[in-house]
């Protein structure tokens, strides 16, 4: 069974940076980050299709230019990172990583269903 785990949340001041990491227990080629603040709906943040030499990313308009999603290796495992810069209080939320096998780039977007979700990691940005 595919399992996903996040790490890297924390508290920063406005303008600060954080990097979140996501690892999966089995092979995946599509990973995304979502966030949900109290009283708000879950929002897609960024997605990445990562298969061999192909990497395709997409972002929510609210984070374009500030967040970067990437795929690489960490501790010998495939890892997807979300580098978050120029953070502001509106970015405060529980951040969730989700992963799946999509096989096609076109099936790896923020609007598709994801099979596996992590427990979430809290990001808090103070003004």
Which residues are CB-neighbours of 25 under 8 A, at least 6 positions away?
1, 2, 3, 4
Q: What are phi and psi of 20, to 5 degrees?
A: -100, 150
Q: What is the pLDDT along the chain (127 residues), one digit of tens a residue?
A: 999 999 999 999 999 999 999 999 999 999 999 999 999 999 999 999 999 888 999 999 999 999 999 998 777 778 999 999 999 999 999 999 999 999 888 899 999 899 899 999 999 999 9
Residues 42, 38: Cα–Cα separation, whole Å: 10
């Amino acid at each position: 069974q595919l399992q996903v785990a996040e790490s890297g949340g924390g508290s920063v001041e406005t303008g600060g940076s954080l990097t979140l990491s996501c690892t999966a227990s089995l092979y995946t080629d599509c990973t995304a980050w979502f966030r949900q603040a109290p009283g708000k709906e879950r929002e897609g943040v960024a997605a990445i299709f990562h298969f061999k030499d192909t990497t395709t990313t997409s972002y929510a308009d609210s984070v374009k230019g500030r967040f970067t999603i990437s795929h690489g290796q960490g501790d010998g495992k495939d890892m997807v990172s979300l580098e978050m810069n120029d953070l502001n209080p509106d970015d405060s939320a529980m951040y969730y990583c989700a992963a799946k096998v999509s096989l096609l780039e076109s099936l790896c977007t923020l609007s598709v269903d994801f099979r596996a979700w992590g427990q979430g990691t809290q990001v808090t940005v103070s003004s």
